[in-house]
Structure 1
Amino acid sequence: MTEYVRSWYVPIIETESGAEMVDKITIENDETAQSLQGKGNQDWFLENTISGIISLGVEFGITLTVNGLIISGTLINGKTYFEELSKSLKSASKEKGDFADVIGEQWAGFKAIYEDPDEESENKTPSHVSFIHLKNAHIFAPGQQAMPTEEGILWRGKLSSVDGFTIGVLSKN
Structure 2
Amino acid sequence: MDNILQNFVKAANQGDFSLDITLNVNGTLVTGTTVSAKKYMQSLSGTFDGGNEISQKLSEKLSRTSDINYSQEEIRFIHLENAQVYNGDAQPTPSEGSFHWRGKLEEVDGFFLGRIDAK
Residues 84-123 of structure 1: matches in 2 within 5 Å? 84-91=43-50, 93=51, 95=52, 97=53, 99-114=54-69
Q: Which runs of 5+ in 1 are unaligned?
A: 1-41, 117-125
Matched, 1:133 2:92: no
How far apart are the structure 2 equivalents of 1:101 and 1:136?
25
Which whole-Å deviations, capped at 9, do the CAs of 1:16-37 have from their partners, x for residues lacking one? xxxxxxxxxxxxxxxxxxxxxx
Provide the aligned C-alpha RMSD in A: 1.8
Aligned length: 119
Which whole-Å deviations, capped at 9, do the CAs of 1:85-126 have from their partners, x for residues lacking one? 1012215x2x4x2x322212211111122357xxxxxxxxx5
How far apart are the structure 1 equivalents of 2:77 and 2:29?
17
SS state at 1:163 partner = strand
Higher relative contact order (CA 8 A, sep 6+): 2
Go from structure 1 to structure 2 and tell me whether the alpha carbon gap of 1:115 and 1:143 turns closer, same or farther (over 3 Å shift).
Answer: closer
Q: Which residue of 1 is the match for residue 101 of structure 2?
A: 155
- Residue 140 of structure 1 contacts residue 147 of structure 1 at CA under 8 Å; is this kept in 2? yes
How far apart are the structure 2 equivalents of 1:162 and 1:115?
20
Go from structure 1 to structure 2 and tell me whether the alpha carbon gap of 1:108 and 1:44 turns closer, same or farther (over 3 Å shift).
Answer: same
**TM-score, normalization: structure 2?**
0.88
- Residue 37 of structure 2 contacts residue 79 of structure 2 at CA under 8 Å; is this kept in 1? yes
Q: Which runs of 5+ in 2 are unaligned?
A: none
How far apart are the structure 2 equivalents of 1:72 and 1:85?
19
- Residue 12 of structure 2 contacts residue 36 of structure 2 at CA under 8 Å; is this kept in 1? no
Q: Which residue of 1 is the match for residue 25 of structure 2?
A: 66
Structure with greater strand share of residues: 1
How far apart are the structure 2 equivalents of 1:113 and 1:158?
18
**TM-score, normalization: structure 1?**
0.63
Q: Which residue of 1 is the match for residue 11 of structure 2?
A: 52
Instruction: Answer with 1 or 2: which has the greater Rg.
Output: 1
How far apart are the structure 1 equivalents of 2:70 and 2:92?
33
